[in-house]
Amino acid sequence: MKTVLVTGTGAIIGYGVLRALRDVPNVRRIAADIFDHAVGKHFADDFVQAPLTSDPSYRAWLLDTVEQHNVDLIIPCIEQDVAWFAEAALSGPLPSVRVCLNDPLAIRLCADKATFDTFLSDIASPLRIPTLHDGSFADLVARLGLPFLLKPRRGYASKGIVKISSEVDFHRQQSRLGSDVIAQRIVGNDDEEFTVSAFCIKGNVSASIALRRRLAADGSTARASRVSAEPFTRAISDLAAKLNLNGPSNFQFRIANGQLFLLEINPRISSATSIRHAFGYNEAAMAVDYFLHGKSIDQPTLRSGSAIRYIEDVITYDTGTDF
């Protein structure tokens, strides 16, 4: 029996991973979250409340939890947790436990949209969306068109994006350009957005799945349908090699006038993991096989179909039973 600690289990990624681990034999699931009411505790064998990764006590808490529960593998799920483990790996040895963690330098690079845009520019990537880090309103309109977007350099799930439709709009945000936000051309439309996940091993893509998606208000995938990954294969293979991706990796694209554009890369498991699991692509199981057991990963047989997300209740009665 192996023990897997999953963090951020009050979020859709974390409890999606816990539910997917049900398919993995001989695994004891420990859920962790900053809130003691996190729904993930209902899909785990045990639960521990965690401090924020920004709390100085986090490392001590982690070491104690690993020792107390004999943890064999950690799967950090939310962006803040992944970032902490990446920086910890870059600054010194991690705790004596295996971690489902992509290349730390790739995680750091992809976390900052300005730095990542510079990377795409330096490699002359045809996937790059026209982006500027500074300039006047007239300069931005001339090169990006109107309207255009201001995107936070650091952010996730489409949070904090502002559409600029006039000079008045721009002047409200102008002081943030470069330091906090980047300006980017609007490409394609909401009907041509795709989330493509790949399991990479030392820069090579071992398995992948592509979904056409529509976003919910919180930035997560609300509706999705599985599509062929073939149109994205060359792009993700090239990027995986250049970034030395190693583990679950998520690529977000738009297609405009037949051309492929890259929105961002998240070198981690993303929020659509439960949908991918339902189509036969179990990232949690792959993580256990690769990071814990050192096994190679093969392309799974995938089912076709579509998915709609909805709100579901978990009820705990005073008798102690769940519904």
Bigger pLDDT: 256 or 316?
256
Across the chain, what does the average pLDDT equal?
A: 94
What average pLDDT does this structure show over 212-220?
83
Q: What is the pLDDT of residues 40-57, one digit of tens each?
A: 999 999 999 999 999 999
* DSSP class of 215: E
Domain topology for 130-185: Dna Ligase; domain 1 (3.30.1490)
pLDDT of residue 250: 98
- How sure is the predictor about 221, in pLDDT bands with cuts at 50, 70 and 90? confident
Which residue stretches of 21-103 are H helix? 58-68, 79-91
Query: What is the Cα–Cα distance from 241 to 225, expressed in whole angstroms?
Result: 27
What average pLDDT does this structure show over 250-268?
96
| Contact (Cβ atoms closer than 8 angstroms) between residue 199 and residue 208 | yes
- The fraction of the chain above a pLDDT of 90, given in percent, is 89
Q: What is the pLDDT of residues 160-183, one digit of tens each?
A: 899 999 999 999 999 999 999 999
What average pLDDT does this structure show over 257-270?
96
Edge-to-edge strands, sheet with 306-308: 259-266, 247-256, 193-201, 204-215, 221-227, 306-308
DSSP string, 148-203: EEEEESS--TTTT-EEE-SHHHHHHHGGGBTTTEEEEE--S-GGGEEEEEEEEETT
pLDDT of residue 159: 76
| SS3 (DSSP) at 99 | strand
pLDDT of residue 244: 98
β-bridge mates for residue 264, sequence order:
252
pLDDT of residue 321: 61
Q: Which of 32, 22, 27 is nearest to 76 (CA)?
A: 32
Question: Residue 274 pLDDT more than 80?
Answer: yes
What average pLDDT does this structure show over 260-278?
97
pLDDT of residue 320: 67
pLDDT of residue 60: 94
| Contact (Cβ atoms closer than 8 angstroms) between residue 270 and residue 249 | no
Domain ranges of the chain: 2-101, 130-185, 189-308
Report residue 253 as tokens: 């694209």
Q: Which residue has the tokens 């056409």?
A: 212
Bigger pLDDT: 210 or 218?
210
Question: Residue 323 pLDDT more than 60?
Answer: no
Question: Residue 149 pLDDT more than 80?
Answer: yes
Domain topology for 189-308: D-amino Acid Aminotransferase; Chain A, domain 1 (3.30.470)
Q: Which of 9, 7, 259 is nearest to 130 (CA)?
A: 259
- How sure is the predictor about 157, in pLDDT bands with cuts at 50, 70 and 90? low
Question: Residue 225 pLDDT more than 60?
Answer: yes
Q: What is the pLDDT of residues 96-148, one digit of tens each?
A: 799 999 999 999 999 999 999 999 999 999 999 999 999 999 999 999 999 99
**Domain 2-101 bears CATH identifier 1.20.950.20:** no
| Contact (Cβ atoms closer than 8 angstroms) between residue 15 and residue 8 | no
Question: Residue 286 pLDDT more than 80?
Answer: yes
